[in-house]
Chains A and B, each alone.
Chain A
Amino acid sequence: MGRQMETRVRLSGDLCKYFEEERRFQLEPQATIGDLLDRLGIAEGEVGVIALNGVLATRSAELQEGDEVQLFPPIGGG
């Protein structure tokens, strides 16, 4: 087993029903955001916008040690 890397995850909006505070996850090297989402068990449609270190990202983005991922619901109205 390769050395695992730590990723910080924050949820926003309706996603906070999964957890409220920032959490840290240990992932395999070269894991993607998609791998992280599978690990979190959040249903596909519930995540609308992904930010990796404050920049818009997609599920296929590869993670590195110390990255911060923020997950948002889809953009709606108001």
Chain B
Amino acid sequence: MPCGYAGRILRVNLSTGTITVEEPGEEFYRTYFGGSGLIGYYLLKELRPGVEPLGPENKLIFACGVNTGVPTSGSGRNAIGAKSPLTGAFGESDVGGFWGAELKRAGYDAVIVEGQAAKPVYLRVRDKEVQVREASHLWGTTTGQCQEMIRGELGEKAARLALIGPAGEKLVRYACVLNGTRHAAGRTGLGAVMGSKNLKAVAVHGSRPVELADPQGVRAKAQWVAGVYMQSSRGLHDNGTANMVPRLNLNGALPTRNFQHGSFGGAEKISGEAMTKTILVGRTTCYGCPIRCKRVVEASEPYPVDPLYGGPQYETVAALGSNCGVDDLVAVAKGNELCNAYGLDTISTGSCIAFATECFENGLLTKQDTDGLELTFGNAPAMLHMVEMIAQRRGLGRLLGEGVMRAAKQIGRGAERYAMHIKGQEVPMHEPRLKQGMGLGYAVSPTGAEHVLNIHDTLYAQEGGPLDRAKALGIPGPLAPSDLGPEKVRLFIYLTHWESFLNCLGMCQMQPYDLQQVVEIVNAATGWNTTVWELLKVGERALNLSRVFNAREGLTATDDYLPARFFAPFQSGPLAGVAVDQARLEAALRTYYAMMGWDQGSGLPTVGKLQELGIAWAADELSQHSISGSNER
């Protein structure tokens, strides 16, 4: 009897209507764990290279981890993956809330969606009962409307939904999937993949608690977090992740006006503290977690903001706020509401608007392109109007919905200078000119610019909790954020191996556990005898699977880069004169490939490395498609 994981994967083909269940066996779960690793396995095994991401051959995979639904803090996450329509590469996003735990309770670790329905449908999973149901009447609804309607027609008020809004239906390349109305699997355009399959929602009701090998062991961890979280995670609880805004601003590292600046005059007005003092009406959370870092906000002036859609976290506050020059917190909250209702990634949406704004301010777009809108930095109503246009693919929104890379190409005349993306995915709200290791992570992330599977250098620049975790991995002492030498690359690798593992496990990174406690949770849930070593290898394995997938899709080492803006120093502020040094980044990239056991020139995983990870079959994928790493840096 499997413990922790369910041992069953649901496969639904929307072209044929076939519904099957697979049981891969314990060794599969111990090797791939679920989440990111499971997605890498199936995408590499079952997609042929070159499929159209918005076509029927792509597969959309919802993947819990072994820990999802286990009753302790941080166990609410699932991953979603597919070939990304934004990057043409490995697409993955990880999300919290309650949907993943519900799927596990229904008796499944993952759902693999294949093909394409002829008309809009939604999937209903009620324990062993699985149906494909009519959804034409739901097409065009917001996530809030759809959730209410599906719960009503199923008579299941407690059903958990993973769903898309109109943006996914309209194939905006960075449309997202939401768990409910407040938790977003934001990045890489998985909402568009779901929309391309005519799949509106996956509604789940699960009635069996997850089987556990050592329930008392799991319970003890839950109780420990309940006792410490107000010491360890007070800032997150009180003011959400936007509590970071003031200190980023002080350091000149708050993305401002499309990364042109690092300090923003309106920073104090859009911080987490400001939110708590003005529009915060509640704090909510994910399955099992007492920290309650999620915001719930409400407003009526100057814009009505519905608390159904939660509230903005840091990325959104920066992407729709400072990076658009907007200092009106209610406008930012409204933008968050619209993105959650329409199903748009707030980071990419904000970045596309900032890009368009810089184009407008430099005459590359005119009022004719914007239908008369004065699209300037700081114009909050204009920012909100653009969110609507993008979601509905109207006017300039039609172009911006393609992402900054494609939009810049279309506009031409040097617009590429303002397009902040890597591999086609828009850059998140962290400044590599402060956090140099973050810049490396942006360049090499399999999904394009990515901030969670990455290092926040500032956390490891002094003694404290994060550095203690690094010390447990053998890193002897603090490293300056500006350091990009081999020591920093090694730290980056050890951390991202662990973070990648957490994405396979289904566990939230913001938990106060140390490494050994996570090992204990896994063993208590599953009855296994795992160790930090094995779990780091799980994370490394997932990173190698996505690297091989990308190589097979034609990505090479030259796709590991940073946008030119980061090589230019800030002109003023606390980081005046500071930039990413291109030669130093190149050296760090080669060091990264070498330390990963990849070819130092091509960045391709070697056969030996794949064998060491127990995935020699992945090497066969490369040789079958004659990928030999001839395109070197």
Contacts and interface: CB of A to CB of B under 8 A. Distances in A.
Given A44-B462, A75-B251, A13 B235 contact: yes
Interface string B466-510: 110000000000000000000000000000000000000000010
Given A12-B243, A13-B234, A78-B244, A45 B250 contact: no
Interface in A31-62: 43-46, 48-49, 51, 55-56
Contacts of B313: 78
B467 to A, nearest CB: 7
A78 B242 contact: yes
A46 B459 contact: no
Nearest to B468: A45
B560 to A, nearest CB: 21
Interface stretch (B1-9, B29-37, B81-89, B450-458): B450-458
A17 B230 contact: yes
A12 B235 contact: yes
Contact of B459 (A17, A43, A51, A74): A74
B463 A44 contact: yes
B461 interface: yes
Contacts of B458: 48, 74-76
Interface in B213-264: 230-235, 238-244, 246-248, 250-253
A46 to B, nearest CB: 6
Given A12-B273, A17-B230, A75 B244 contact: yes
28 contacts: A12-B243, A13-B235, A14-B231, A14-B234, A14-B235, A15-B235, A16-B234, A16-B235, A43-B464, A45-B463, A46-B464, A48-B458, A49-B250, A49-B251, A55-B250, A56-B250, A56-B251, A73-B235, A73-B247, A74-B461, A75-B244, A75-B459, A76-B466, A77-B456, A77-B459, A78-B240, A78-B241, A78-B244
Interface string A1-15: 000000000001111
Given A16-B235, A43-B464, A73-B247, 15 more contacts: A12-B235, A12-B246, A12-B273, A13-B234, A13-B235, A15-B235, A16-B234, A17-B234, A49-B247, A73-B235, A74-B461, A74-B462, A77-B452, A77-B454, A78-B244
A41 to B, nearest CB: 15
Given A14-B232, A14-B235, A45-B467, A72 B246 contact: yes
Contact of B247 (A43, A48, A77): A48
A17 B235 CA distance: 9
A38 to B, nearest CB: 15
A43 B235 CA distance: 17
B266 interface: no
A49 B246 CA distance: 10
A75 B451 contact: no
Interface of B: 230-235, 238-244, 246-248, 250-253, 273, 313-315, 430, 434, 451-452, 454, 456, 458-459, 461-467, 509, 574
Interface of A is mostly: mixed
B514 to A, nearest CB: 15
Contacts of A44: 462-463
B431 to A, nearest CB: 10
A56 B244 contact: no
B572 to A, nearest CB: 13
A75 B247 contact: yes
Most chain A CB within 10 A, of B247, B451, B462, B467, is at: B247
B267 to A, nearest CB: 11
B239 A13 contact: yes
Interface of A: 12-17, 43-46, 48-49, 51, 55-56, 70, 72-78
Nearest to B481: A75
B291 to A, nearest CB: 12
Most chain B CB within 10 A, of A16, A44, A45, is at: A45
B456 to A, nearest CB: 4
A16 B251 contact: no
Contacts of B240: 78
Given A45-B467, A56-B574, A76-B456, A13 B250 contact: no
A75 B247 CA distance: 7
A51 B464 contact: no
Contacts of A16: 234-235, 238
Contacts of B239: 13
B243 A48 contact: no
B244 to A, nearest CB: 6
Contacts of A51: 246-247, 250
A43 B451 CA distance: 28
B4 to A, nearest CB: 27
Contact of B244 (A55, A70, A76): A76
A72 B239 CA distance: 13
Most chain A CB within 10 A, of B234, B239, B240, B313, is at: B234
B248 to A, nearest CB: 6
A15 B467 CA distance: 17
A9 B255 CA distance: 27
Contacts of B466: 74, 76
A16 B248 CA distance: 18
A22 to B, nearest CB: 13
Contacts of B243: 12-13
A51 B240 CA distance: 21
Contact of B456 (A43, A70, A75): A75
A56 B241 CA distance: 21
A14 B251 CA distance: 19
Given A14-B235, A17-B234, A72-B247, A45 B273 contact: no
Contacts of B456: 75-77
B511 to A, nearest CB: 13
Contacts of A70: 246
Contacts of A14: 231-235
B478 to A, nearest CB: 8
